[in-house]
Each structure stands twice: as C-alpha cells, then as structure tokens.
Chains A and B, each alone.
Chain A
Amino acid sequence: MLSDGGSFMKGMVMGGLFCLVLSFLSSFSPSTEFMTEDHHHHHVKAASKEELNHLSDSHTQELLDQVRVSCIIMVQPSVLVYWAAALDTWAKHCDKAVFYTSESSKALEAIDLNEKDDWARLRKALKHAYDNAGDLRWFFVARPTTFAIIENLKYLVLTKDPSEPFYLGNAMKSGELEYVALASGIVLSYEALKRLVNVFEDEGKCPERGRALWKLSEDKQLAVCLKYTGVFAENGEDMHGKGLFNSKTVHSLISDSMKANPTNVVEGCCSDMAVTFNGMSPSQMQVLMFGVYRLRPYGHDFHDLMTFYPPEGSDND
C-alpha cells in the first residue's frame, strides 16, 4: 500500500512538471530580429544646438570641411527604376556618389564589379571606395531602394571624429550578433573602413565566400568582420532617442503611428531629422524630395549653425 502511495506521489510530481514544461515551451517563441530590436547598448546621438553653439568658429569650419560623405550605392539592372530615381534624387546631395553594379546596364553608368555574390560585391565596392577616398572621411552604403537625406547624416556625425571607428545605422540584433541593416543604410567612418579593408585580407576571420553552412546576408557578414577589428554596430538616433535610420517607408510608419498614437500621430512617428527611409517607389521619392528640400511653412525658420547648399544643375530640390 505504501509503495502504491509513493508511486502515486511520484506520478503527481512528474505530471505537474510535465505540464509546466509544456506550457513553458508553448509560450516560448524563437528569438528573431523582432525580439531585441530596441535593446540597444550602443547609441550615437546628434549634437544638440547648445553643444554646437559652444564650438569656436574655426572648430566649426573644420568640422564642416571634414563631414563630407562618399556614397556607395549598390545597384543592379533589375532595380533600374530605383537606380534612376536615386540618381535623380538623393544621390545628388552626396559629395561623391558612386554606383556599383553586379552587371553593366546600357541605360545607366556604374562601376561594373562583375560579381553576382552580394557579399563579394560589397567587399569589392568598399575596397574601391576606400582606395579612391581622396579626402572624404565618411562613407554611406545603401541600395537605391533606400532614400537618404545626406544633410541629416552629416548632422548626425558632425561632431564625431572619423579617425575613430564608427559603424552606424539602424542597429539590429540577430542572436548574439549586433549589425546595421543595409536596408536603412550603413554609415562608416574612415577608420572603420580602413580596419575593414585590412581584415578583408584575413581569409580566416573574414572569408570572401562566407564559411558558414547557411548563408549570412551581406550586412551581417559585414558586422562579423568589423567585430574582429573591434568595431561595433551603433544605433543612430536624434536628441530624443528616436531612430534616424528607417527600414520602412514613411507611409508605413505613419500608418503604424495612426494605430499606436491616434491623437499624436506625427509626433509619435518619425524623427524630424530622419536620415533614411526604405522601400519607397520612385514617385514617392520625388514627393519626399519636394517635402524635404522645398515644401515648408512660411515664417518658420531654424537658424542652423551650418549651411549646406543645394547641388548644381538640379531642379527638384
């Protein structure tokens, strides 16, 4: 009788544990990018007006001269309309814009890297940009499906020293790896790019064809290689902590905000100094161009401490 009771108790305990394990498993969802997207250890914020005010005139001029951006735009003929859109819109605001393609197109000019593999192509493009950097110290990597407001990128990195390693954008996490999403643009300082180009030589740490059983996307590969050189992904934010690099379209972000903050849609949406939006159609990009560089309410002025001039020979900005 006693052993029966003992067995019964053992059974109950096992049953209870079994139930707990089951319920725990069912509520556990595999962590993907969604889980820790806003769990950033590293943030980079733009300088505030006060900070800028405290700079001396000569220092300010120095910073201005140094914050020139080289745009590295990864295109391919399959996205010809976006390629053309980038060329006609935001790329005009880069101090230098170079288009790198996987194969040449008769319609538009680009540096043909003749390389189908995304990661290998990105490596070649970055190396080429580094070798031809001239006196440019900041590098912005994007696809033409992304729209960038280069002046706001400059504002973000204005007081940062490009001889320090910076690797900025929309910082995301995949398992243990923190990386900057290519979809919303990647910003590299000269030092970061230099270290990267050096580690390209190391087939062990940064293999050209990728060693993993599964293929990592090129932005994650980049993060892995940079990590070896001691450079870590940082999230680009405005002074209020709002992300500046958006992987979605403006329309999508506004829609989200209409559901999340119906009484404060615009304030709850996107930063005033946003740097990138991703996935907008070419005509939406023309509207964004108009919205950023032309449309404004008369009589409201921001006396920004720096002036960036419009590019020559352009009519949509």
Chain B
Amino acid sequence: MKALGSKFSFYAGFVVGTFTLYVFLRQVWFAKTLADQQASSYAKLHDHQQQLEAEKKIWKKERSALFNLKHPHHLGEDSSMADELYRKVRILCWVMTGPSNLETKARHVKYTWSRHCNIVVFMSSVDDPDFPTVGLGTKEGRDQLYWKTIRAFHYAYEHHADEADWFLKADDDTYVIVDNLRWVLANHTPDEPIYFGRRFKPYAKQGYMSGGAGYVLSKEALRRFVEGFKSKVCTHTTSVEDLAMGQCMEKVGVLAGDSRDTAHRETFHPFIPEQHLTVKFPKSFWYWSYCYYPISEGPNCCSDVSVSFHYVDASGMYLLEYYTYHLRAFGYKYRYQPPSPLAYSTEKSRPRDSAEGKKQQAPQENEQGDLKRADKKLDADPPPAAGKDPPDAAGDNKQ
C-alpha cells in the first residue's frame, strides 16, 4: 500500500511539475514576442522617419513636383562632367502613371532613375499630394493616353517652363539613364524645334517617336506643341499617343531628331535589354517594319550610352540602376569612348589618361595606347569639330 502511494505521488508530482513549467515558459515566451513586436514596430516607425529625413536631402517636394537637390554621386567617382551637364542641360521628367500603379510601379521609378532628373513630375488622373502626383482630370485607360499626354505637357509648360530646358515623357515601366540623355542633348539647344526618341517610320513623313521608349522635347518644341493646340493646328486626333504626338510635331515644324550615338547605335529602346541583346525577332514582327534606322541584333543593338529601355518591371528598375550606376569592372578601358559635347569645359581640361603615368596591363608596351589597341572596327574619338551629330538643321532637315 505504501509503495503504491509514493509511486502515485511521484507521477502526480511529475504531471504538476511539467504543467507548471509549461505555463511558466509559455508566459515568458509570450511576453518576449510581445516585446519583440513592440520593438519591431518602433523600429519600423524609426526607419520610416529616417527614410523621410533621407528623402529631404535628395529632393524638395514643391507644387506636386520633386526637385532633385543634388545630382546623385558615388563614392570615389569623378562626376565633374556629369555635374556640368546637370547644370547646363536641365531636364524635367514627367512620368505617365495612375493611382493603381503608384505603389507597384511609380514608386520604383521614384527611387531609381527619376533621382537623376532635375525635376520629376508624376502625372496621374488623380491628385495625390503625398507621392506626389498631379491629377490631370482625365480617366484611366489606354484610350486616355493622348489626353493625358496633352494635359501633362500643358501642365509642364504652364508650371515649369522656366525651370527646365528639355521635357521628357516616360512611362512608369520605362527606365531612363538621364546622364546619357544629357549627352544626346548636349550638342543641341532648347531653342531648337526638335525632339528625340526611338524613331519609327510609319504614319508620319518624318516618322514619330515610340511612346514606351520615352521621348524628349526641347523647350521650343514644347512651346510649339502648346501653341498648336491653342491655334487648333493640333487636336486630339487619336488615342495612340505617340503617333498623335508625331503628327502634331510635324504640323508645327518640330524636327524628328536622330538620337543614335556616333557609331550609329540606338539609344532609346522599346524593349528590355535582354530582348534587344539576345532575341532574334521573327521577320514578321512589326518592329522590323517600324524602325526608321536599320536594326542591329546582338551587341550592336544598343549604345554604351543607351538612354532608355521599356517594359521594365519593378525589380528590373533596380537591376538597371545597379548595372548602370554601380556594378563595373575595375580599371576597364571601354571600347567606345563617346566624344565629349562641344563647348564643355570640363572634358577639355581633363588629362588624357594614358599620359598621366597610369599603369596598364596590355599585350604591348605602348603608353599612347588609348583606343588604337582596341577593336579597330569601332569608333575612335572623332575630331571635336565633327561633334556628336552632323549639324542638325542642315543635315536632317526633311521639311
């Protein structure tokens, strides 16, 4: 009897012990997760505030636009040329977006390439003072595209005409390398009636620019666009925005420019890099009959100083930002050296690198190497007088 009793007590004690400690442990665990949750929500709040602080250093939010306060810089880089262009070739970027795309698309544009514009305005159908976006008073949808474009350009002209020299239109799935756009534009002035983009040939005598690949108007072109609507020379002809734009530009005497680099490679691209570089489009694809200039497949499709790509998704924006502004090969001497724009002081005063005792790893010992050693097929520096384009008014004037 006695033994049974003590065995029973033991088991009872065991159960009580287990239960007590279990309850105790759970309480501790519960309290810990509660504390963790509180800590993480405080951390999130703190992060958010830090983010807002960081943003204030990057841009100034004013009148539904973001004014970039400084040109983004990289540790250890010499961006004197890019800085000079930033001051002299002022670009207002307006991004075609909509309320349902703000968090999924426009946001990524905001945190990547738009930081390199002088001013960026996000155009939507609805006003949003926080993002910020401008409400154009239209509805959303493909049939509204030209209405949005017309109103967006009018808005830019009315509110920011004196604050920029060039006015770029891009979609919220277009990635634009604004520094390269400045290179393309640097040999032109904002008083020229000209616009640039990926030139397509049908439907207009001088062709028109692909909407998705983005296009940029000079201040004079924008002025004529607005005047055109005032005088009813231009109207809302079709909802196919890029085509309608091209037709209006032609009517008001704005030239369709050649945006290719000095090796005749395209800079504005209607698709993502992977497609231009690796895909062989079938001959029946519309692209073949649309491109104004001869198409190159493979590496020659795209300039080293490419300006835009289209159909870029959210992660694609960050990928392109990484590839363009961050990832590089140490010490690599690029084959293609874009000639410096005329009348830009920084480039002239820069020492030619081969002369400054820079050490080179090369098959031959030749201090004056520079580009002569590289593949001779590609362009060496053309003489400065030739500039980037043949003198545009004389050469390309198709009127």
Could you tell me which A residues sit within 8 Å of B by CB distance? Answer: 3-20, 23, 49, 57, 60-61, 64-65, 67-68, 93, 149, 151-152, 154-155, 250-251, 254-255, 257-258, 263, 265-266, 269-270, 272-274, 282-284, 286-288, 290-310, 312-317
Contact = CB atoms under 8 A, between A and B. Distances in A.
Contact of B338 (A298, A304, A308): A298
Nearest to B47: A263
Contacts of A314: 375
21 contacts: A10-B10, A11-B14, A11-B16, A15-B14, A149-B329, A151-B331, A263-B111, A266-B112, A266-B325, A283-B274, A291-B320, A292-B327, A294-B336, A296-B334, A307-B332, A308-B329, A310-B335, A313-B375, A316-B277, A316-B298, A317-B335
Contacts, number: 275
A308 B333 contact: yes
Contacts of A57: 357, 359
Dominant secondary structure at the A interface = helix
B17 interface: yes
Contact of B315 (A13, A258, A296): A258
A304 to B, nearest CB: 4
B199 to A, nearest CB: 21
B21 interface: yes
A288 to B, nearest CB: 8
Nearest to B323: A291
Contact of B6 (A7, A270, A288): A7
Given A151-B329, A151-B332, A305-B359, A16 B18 contact: yes
A265 B318 contact: yes
Interface of B: 2, 5-7, 9-22, 25, 47, 51, 54, 74, 76-85, 111-112, 116, 177-180, 182-183, 273-274, 277-279, 298-300, 302, 304-306, 314-315, 318-336, 338, 353, 357-363, 369, 373-375
Contacts of A65: 361
Nearest to A13: B17
Residue of B323, B353, B373, B374 ringed by the most chain A CB atoms within 10 A: B323
A315 B360 contact: no
Contacts of A151: 329-332
A8 B79 CA distance: 79
A288 B323 CA distance: 8
Contacts of B47: 263
B149 to A, nearest CB: 27
Contacts of A270: 322, 326-327
A4 B330 CA distance: 79
B328 A303 contact: no
Given A307-B333, A315-B299, 6 more contacts: A7-B13, A14-B13, A14-B17, A299-B82, A300-B179, A310-B333
Contacts of B16: 8, 11-12, 15
B78 A4 contact: no
Given A11-B11, A315-B375, A292 B328 contact: yes
B179 A297 contact: yes
Contact of A299 (B18, B79, B112): B79
10 nearest A-B pairs in the assembled complex, by CB-CB distance: A11-B13, A15-B17, A299-B82, A291-B323, A12-B17, A299-B81, A297-B179, A15-B18, A8-B13, A155-B330
A8 B278 contact: no
Contacts of B299: 286, 290, 294, 315-316
B330 A308 contact: yes
A130 B177 CA distance: 45
A291 B278 contact: no
Nearest to B338: A298
